[in-house]
A and B are shown apart, each in its own frame.
Chain A
């Protein structure tokens, strides 16, 4: 560097917007790819679970209790939701919390780029991971077990996008309320078990007793599970389930932006 040019102090120097934000996204993307463990749980694990379940012969047989569908048919949307749970609850909160804890946000506040840029990049990257994870589960489900592709169903796509919004807002809220990275991981683990249950990983929501099914349907992943299932059957998801997802996404986004502590 040379002697600082005596810039006229009142000259308007616009903040570099696009290029700087793109650079932040690119840098965070590279860091994202340097976490193989986290990538496995978000993208590899849901499909691996699907394959393991698909290897159980009875899961590939038509089940009259499920209206002639196979268990594996139910598990593709569950694998899609599992990827979202992994990314939003297990992976994202510790990253965002550590950025606050390590003073990365603080350092960024002294530059022309504000901290929301880096948080936004991380949230977007986790959203992309959710989409990749979903596509992988759907593709493997089709190729290995002949589970119908859902892409012709606009209701499926809509439910998936709403659920991604919900999951990201949930992860952001956890990052907001957790004071430390350790706390984020701990809260994440508890939330993880709840979300696994409501999304039907252990017991597909369709097979739960009526009362439990009603309660679970009020949770974001429970509603999503029902909506995806309905869409898979070729009908439009119930408005009630879409509405529940919209409410959760909006409420959690509000909570995250209200409670997020920058330091």
Chain B
């Protein structure tokens, strides 16, 4: 197998339940060592997509490959390569943390050292605690440990931080970075922008069962219209038409003396150049980057029929 074959490959995946299409032609590939995000609103088809990758569901059409294996037909071998933390999967309420780790380790031929894993996931103090007595964060950490105990090459983490407090969420993020630094590829499903922006190398934005965009976080942010906002007060009056005439500018708004311009990264340069040509200096200049939030709303609303088109409001 050539070195550059993607570890996870999904091509034109389709899946519907009782006539309702949930995944409608999703394609993406995940390279070894990446943290790959699947981002989308609730009900967009994220979970179904990763369930197909994990071999829990059979696609209606399209192909899914994990290290070249079909996760459904080759389920047993796939389970040795792929660990999964899925939504709504608990453990027996009375099982001890230690027992769960030992049990799941026994399933694999070359398991990780579960004691070491427990240490890394700060579960050492909880080894003799029953699952039902763990906090939400501890349950999630145990779930991650169980997903990793088989020494997988890729780990699927679905809505990992939902329901965690901000502190626990940040701890979990650190953990996911650690996991990747150990050489495990991560397929992360989330609806938190901040999480995706902070962790992911690349993100597939899924909306209504389709991939609306696939790029790096900064690529996604940069591509959205009005992603960069520039505000300044010109040293002498400037006709806004000069600005809105620039191809890089999405909108111009004047409030009193102050001008607010939206655009992309390239807009900043264009505006500065224009000001320089007119020998105007920009006072109180602020350039704010849009967040992934803005990009996400842009992307997912773009397909909605009632979405307002980004116009040039001058």
Contacts and interface: CB of A to CB of B under 8 A. Distances in A.
Contacts, number: 102
Interface stretch (A17-25, A188-196, A247-255): A17-25
A72 to B, nearest CB: 38
22 contacts: A1-B113, A1-B151, A1-B182, A3-B183, A4-B184, A9-B1, A9-B68, A9-B69, A10-B68, A12-B77, A16-B107, A20-B106, A20-B107, A27-B95, A34-B94, A109-B56, A110-B55, A110-B56, A110-B82, A111-B108, A112-B107, A112-B108
A224 B103 CA distance: 38
A104 B90 contact: yes
Given A103-B89, A104-B92, 8 more contacts: A1-B117, A4-B151, A4-B152, A4-B183, A16-B108, A31-B92, A106-B88, A107-B91
A15 B80 CA distance: 9
A106 B183 contact: no
Nearest to A106: B89
A15 B116 CA distance: 24
Interface of A: 1-7, 9-10, 12-16, 19-20, 23-24, 27, 30-31, 34-35, 99, 102-104, 106-107, 109-113
Contact of A102 (B56, B90, B94, B99): B90
A7 B1 CA distance: 12
A30 B88 CA distance: 24
B282 interface: no
Contacts of B40: none
Nearest to B77: A13
Classify the secondary structure of B's interface with A: loop
Contact residues on B (Cβ < 8 Å of other chain), bracket: 35 or more
A111 B150 contact: yes
B67 interface: yes
A110 B153 CA distance: 14
Given A111-B79, A111-B104, A112-B79, A1 B88 contact: no
A109 to B, nearest CB: 6
Interface of B: 1, 54-56, 67-69, 76-77, 79-84, 86-92, 94-95, 99, 102-104, 106-110, 112-113, 116-117, 146-148, 150-153, 182-184
B123 to A, nearest CB: 14
Nearest to B103: A27
Contact of A112 (B80, B116, B153): B80
B183 A30 contact: no
Contacts of B88: 103, 106
B106 A23 contact: yes
Nearest to B143: A107
B92 A19 contact: no
Given A4-B153, A16-B106, A31-B94, A110 B83 contact: yes
A35 B107 CA distance: 25
Q: Which of B79, B102, B153 has the most A CB atoms < 10 Å from its CB?
A: B79
